[in-house]
Structure 1
Amino acid sequence: MIIVIQRVSKASVKIDGKIKAEISTGLMILVGIEESDNQEDIGWLSKKIVNLRIFPDENEVMNKSVLDINGEILLISQFTLHASTKKGNRPSYIKAARPEIAIPLYEQMIQTLEAELGKPIGTGEFGADMKVSLVNDGPVTILMDSKNKV
């Protein structure tokens, strides 16, 4: 599972011109799910996400987590994170999980993040054409791959 975490002062996702979800200070996360991902990947990433100390403390040092600041999370599925660009100019998405595998994992990730954060999170809609807007605060952007946790 690959994720892109962006520290934001606000973020939203629109589907068919209507806002599906919006957050203020917190994390906007893109998640790419591959065939071999499982509950272990979700658990590891979810704990890392809510405890990642990337928000400033009183000395402007990145020392606080989204939990510490009572921040929000917006989680968006994005299969293109698994694009392979080794050959030619058209990306291949062969590593991205098929919907019958990815959708249940995405839904489990939502539930796990909500449990870790202690409140509901904002989400996109799996497979929808989404328009994501955000103000990246910092900017702070972090990439994580659950296959590189050791």
Structure 2
Amino acid sequence: MLALVQRVAQARVEIAGRVHGSIGRGLLVLVCAEAGDDDARAARLVAKLLKLRIFSDAAGKMNLSVQDVAGGLLIVSQFTLAADTSGGNRPSFTNAAPPAEGRRLYERVVALAREQHVVVETGEFGADMQVHLVNDGPVTIPIKV
């Protein structure tokens, strides 16, 4: 599974002009299931997200997790993370999981996150979404599990 994690001061997802999910301080997580991914990878991704130490401690060092700072998670499906641009100027998305499996794994990530963390908001799988964020730092980290 692939994820692009952004530490944010705030973030929200709008669908058809309405706010679907919104958080204050926390992590905006763009998630992509690739062909061959499974529930074990979804679980490893959630564990990594919850323990990733990218928030500053009192000394200004990135030493705290989203759980340590009681931040939110905004989890958004993003199949374009699987883009392969090696063949030209038009990306190929053949590495992405098929839509039904991508949806199942995205929903599994969300369910696992909600079991283990207090504030979890989402986008909507397959929807045309507008994502608004204030990237804090900026801190943006790619993850592959």
The answer to whether the Cα contact below 8 Å between 2:32 and 2:106 also exists between their aligned partners in 1 is no
Q: What SS does structure 1 have at the residue aligned with 2:44?
A: helix
Indicate whether 1:76 and 2:76 are aligned: yes
Q: Which whole-Å CA distance do the structure 2 matches of 1:58 and 1:4 have between them?
A: 26
| Amino acid across the alignment from 2:74 | L
Aligned residues between the structures: 145
- Cα RMSD over matched residues? 0.8
CA deviation map 1:104-149 (0-9, x unaligned):
11111001111221x2411000011000010000111111111xxx
Indicate whether 1:3 and 2:7 are aligned: no
TM, length-normalised to structure 1: 0.94
5+ long unaligned stretches in structure 1: none
Q: What SS does structure 1 have at the residue aligned with 2:21?
A: strand
| Equivalences for residues 1-150 of structure 1 within 5 A | 1-117=1-117, 119-146=118-145
Q: What SS does structure 2 have at the residue aligned with 1:96?
A: coil
5+ long unaligned stretches in structure 2: none
The answer to whether the Cα contact below 8 Å between 2:10 and 2:133 also exists between their aligned partners in 1 is yes
How many percent of aligned residue pairs carry the same amino acid?
Answer: 45
Q: What SS does structure 1 have at the residue aligned with 2:132?
A: strand
Q: Alpha-carbon deviation of 1:97?
A: 1.1
Q: What SS does structure 1 have at the residue aligned with 2:47?
A: helix
| Amino acid across the alignment from 2:111 | Q
TM, length-normalised to structure 2: 0.97
Q: Alpha-carbon deviation of 1:35?
A: 1.7
CA deviation map 1:61-82 (0-9, x unaligned):
1111100011100000000000
The answer to whether the Cα contact below 8 Å between 1:47 and 1:116 also exists between their aligned partners in 2 is no
Q: What SS does structure 1 have at the residue aligned with 2:66?
A: coil
Q: Which whole-Å CA distance do the structure 1 matches of 2:37 and 2:116 have between them?
A: 19
